[in-house]
Structure 1
């Protein structure tokens, strides 16, 4: 049974205070799904095949008591979208306006363009469960479908459709009566020529469930932007976020669970993330991240996992509209602690750093088994180009003494500092660098540029910064490097901790703490490490300055 306690949330992402009352408990599920992608038998046949598989997992989630189930991006269509209008139309569905509260299960004489919606609506009704389904939506296209055969053999260009026909990458939400209660059209596309960007208000991504929880939606790449999720959290006090993702991993700061965990911690929000499964395509991972109550996360990031359902209980609170307040900066300092440690406990851990380092030097610290890890080659990773980053090589220390290194970017007013020990011994196959950067970074093969302020410690194979996080196929032995604290000073409050082990897993939630403090000249973000962690790949702080994005990205 979920415990009920009172919660005071002081939002770090803006100067507003949210005071919540009793916790609300609910049970959620997210599906990592390996889609059927073969459209040689027709686009609708593939759509139906995937819908049939969805129904099996709806039944499984229902049997385990889930009240809401989230499906990934591209799950219904698969990753192969039709190249001609005829092929592509067969993969799309009509999504009714949520204002009408239509129940597609009630449709009779159902055309193919509504058949999958009809089937899923009936499943939601049958199992009294909310379903969040991402699909290719056709809107106002009936006249185009009446065109002659030769026209329908043309290639798809969503930005050049006649007669007002539009295609969207859309999340449709069915409530527990089968009604469509939300329709969010993806705003921030990522090399998706089959779709146009949604222009509906951010509030179109918000819905309230019958079990008392208000959610906001987003689709994959949206998570790096202000709209819709951050906007809705700030405007409506929402703290439960759902993402349908087809996330392609990028080292060192943008691996799927790393991004989701950072978002959840950075905003003290719950995040339910469903992702496509295709490791060799770069898609992997699904999970439930409990940033509101700082409970442990449940996630999968395993190349051998295949389609997998993640189910777990979540504590949240009823949203309260943000209100301006005159709280001091010290009162707005928020300690985000995944293990529920108090601030006093946090300071005690910080004060004990010297004692811990002495234990390492005298051999009294906990011993870890020797290991040599080969990073799994069955997963594709993209890599951020790091040659524009400032960096310092973190040298080994004498007798396990504490060392601090600092990078200061005077031009952009950001500072990055790490406290660590790095006694002799352990593997010399690799080293660590402290890196920082402020400026535009490319995404989508240099199609999109977003403004970041980044600070982090990264494992590198040699003294060339381009070797950092290039771990595919590398054999990594034990390291004696142990971080205690990473601190960054940034110009904006939208900051996310980005942490990974060298086996590309999240740190244990009980090992670390994240805090953010507003200061006169900016924002100070800190990651504290409580336990001995020798297997670091990335220990980072990833910050977004939305106002400095290029105009076309805002």
Structure 2
């Protein structure tokens, strides 16, 4: 093992003149300590610091280009050794580098990779905690004063994933976010929470800058289903962000976006401009699909969002985006690809300006009188909704469940398709168990109500006017929009407005809408262990 796998020191000073770069490094040494976990040799790195403090703020630029690689994962079942695991890791890294080169040629400054993008599909192929051992890497601490920078001239045994990402960032002059399995040794004699195998293992995001230096490290907090048996989670959600000349970036992972923290804290307390979100997200219900939840999050919080999903459309796992608040800059659709899809798009360096919402305040109010329409029971994604079928070419309908009330006003061109307006208040019946209040207008696959609210994406109906108002007992309300054939880029005629802390309206016009809704999240009542 070579001792100078990483260089710690001052960040590179970049000068672009005639396409040449002047690199200035302050070298340091790394002390390597070997330990054994199961049958896997692990590496612990201690950094001997030299160098100077680094300025974390550079002059701002107006806009920049980002890239998202929605990647088809290469996985190896039942790897027992690092050598066996490296079969998948090397192939995934080779795919990533090909796309990084293309992204560089297209002027990309930030590239985001999906969850498990280096290792392969952890939730599906790995059943025990010990099955992650061959994939684990120890990641150094993030230090702005003495950053850990990759030395690409040396071999990187045991840390091939992060080293490759750091060298790609340096080689292609960009920031790269990747997700990997991190190992953190602990002593059960000193740490009462230390697992019996003497280390923590986290699903960790790492971000390397264009100088090959580690600038951010985030450990996933919300582990759903089988993940909780294999990964540990930090004692509390981490608020991880870093400053660049493109603005302030935060990061979290996948289902973290469904909960209060760290997302709300990053937006409200730490004022991020952009969120980097690697995900492994299977779309099931119309109100919790990958892309429409990304749009809901960026619209509600008025930030730029760069989300990278895994590419596996056969299992309904796909959907990545580049978003500027409610505006879709670029988005993936279910297409045929052998290795995945590279998206690129330009974003402003500062968070988007709040879009003026052309919605009347009176539309936020709910008519309390009875509408004399029959209420039906509909099951959507295992949850029991109260629903009313929309009748005629135009009209008004209202439905309530407990204290959650939803009212729709509509004008449409035909009545061939069956649409319902529905309300739900309670705990989601399957994982993740989220306490929610939902108002939803959705198309049914046929005339039977049991077909409503599924992953339908086609419609022959165009609404010249569709307004859904919600009276919800919580203040965190997220808009849900599902257009015909998932064509978000062509259809922009929708608005969202939260008129009061607990009242909101989402509206569309001249648009073939499959579903339109709002999800109010009661974070304090979530059932999560």
TM-score (norm 2): 0.76
The answer to whether the aligner puts 1:170 opposite 2:204 as a matched pair is yes
**Which sits farther off after the overlay, 233-242 or 94-103?**
94-103
2:129–2:230 CA contact under 8 A, matched in 1: no
The answer to whether the aligner puts 1:394 opposite 2:438 as a matched pair is no
- Correspondence for 1:312: 345
Counterparts of 1:96-245 in structure 2, within 5 Å, are: 96-99=140-143, 101-105=147-151, 108=154, 110-112=156-158, 114-140=159-185, 161-162=195-196, 164-191=198-225, 192=227, 193-199=229-235, 202-203=238-239, 205-209=240-244, 211-245=245-279
The answer to whether the aligner puts 1:36 opposite 2:80 as a matched pair is no
Q: Distance in 2 between matches of 1:509 and 1:142?
A: 56
Residue 161 of structure 1: CA displacement?
Answer: 3.8
Residue 74 of structure 1: CA displacement?
Answer: 1.3
Equivalent residue for 1:500, pick from 474, 477, 482: 482
Q: Residues 342-377 of structure 1: CA distance to partner in whole angstroms, max 9, x if unpaired?
A: 45x5569x9xxxxxxxxxxxxxxxxxxxxxxxxxxx
Q: Residues 216-243 of structure 1: CA distance to partner in whole angstroms, max 9, x if unpaired?
A: 1111111101111211111111131110
Counterparts of 1:317-328 in structure 2, within 5 Å, are: 317=350
Secondary structure in 1 matching 2:492: helix
Q: Distance in 1 between matches of 2:328 and 2:291?
A: 13
- Correspondence for 1:529: 508
Residue 61 of structure 1: CA displacement?
Answer: 1.1
2:386–2:400 CA contact under 8 A, matched in 1: no
Q: Residues 431-471 of structure 1: CA distance to partner in whole angstroms, max 9, x if unpaired?
A: 11100111111343xxx311111001011245654321346
Q: Distance in 2 between matches of 1:311 and 1:90?
A: 33
Secondary structure in 2 matching 1:248: coil
Equivalent residue for 2:429, pick from 434, 442, 446: 442
Distance 1:546 1:477, change over 3 A: closer
- Correspondence for 1:354: none
Residue 129 of structure 1: CA displacement?
Answer: 1.0
- Correspondence for 1:516: 498
- Correspondence for 1:148: none
1:55–1:123 CA contact under 8 A, matched in 2: yes
Distance 1:347 1:435, change over 3 A: closer
- Correspondence for 2:410: 420
Structure 1: 5+ residue runs without aligned partners?
1-21, 144-158, 320-334, 351-381
2:221–2:237 CA contact under 8 A, matched in 1: no
- Correspondence for 1:77: 119
Q: Say what the alpha-carbon RMSD is for the aligned residues.
A: 3.1
2:78–2:131 CA contact under 8 A, matched in 1: no
Q: Distance in 2 between matches of 1:440 and 1:269?
A: 28
Q: Distance in 2 between matches of 1:228 and 1:74?
A: 20
Q: Residues 497-524 of structure 1: CA distance to partner in whole angstroms, max 9, x if unpaired?
A: 1111342443745311111122xxx422
Equivalent residue for 1:408, pick from 384, 390, 400: 400
- Correspondence for 1:468: 452
Structure 2: 5+ residue runs without aligned partners?
1-59, 364-378
Residue 172 of structure 1: CA displacement?
Answer: 0.6
- Correspondence for 1:265: 299
Residue 282 of structure 1: CA displacement?
Answer: 2.2
Distance 1:200 1:105, change over 3 A: farther
2:472–2:520 CA contact under 8 A, matched in 1: yes
Distance 1:91 1:396, change over 3 A: same
1:426–1:478 CA contact under 8 A, matched in 2: no
Q: Distance in 2 between matches of 1:229 and 1:471?
A: 27
Distance 1:164 1:23, change over 3 A: same
2:359–2:497 CA contact under 8 A, matched in 1: no
2:246–2:349 CA contact under 8 A, matched in 1: no
Residue 180 of structure 1: CA displacement?
Answer: 1.1
Q: Distance in 1 between matches of 2:295 and 2:493?
A: 14
Distance 1:104 1:262, change over 3 A: same
TM-score (norm 1): 0.73
1:501–1:507 CA contact under 8 A, matched in 2: no
Secondary structure in 2 matching 1:263: helix
Q: Distance in 1 between matches of 2:141 and 2:108?
A: 26
Q: Residues 505-548 of structure 1: CA distance to partner in whole angstroms, max 9, x if unpaired?
A: 43745311111122xxx422111213x22x32211111111122
Distance 1:280 1:43, change over 3 A: same
Equivalent residue for 2:310, pick from 265, 268, 276: 276
- Correspondence for 2:525: 548
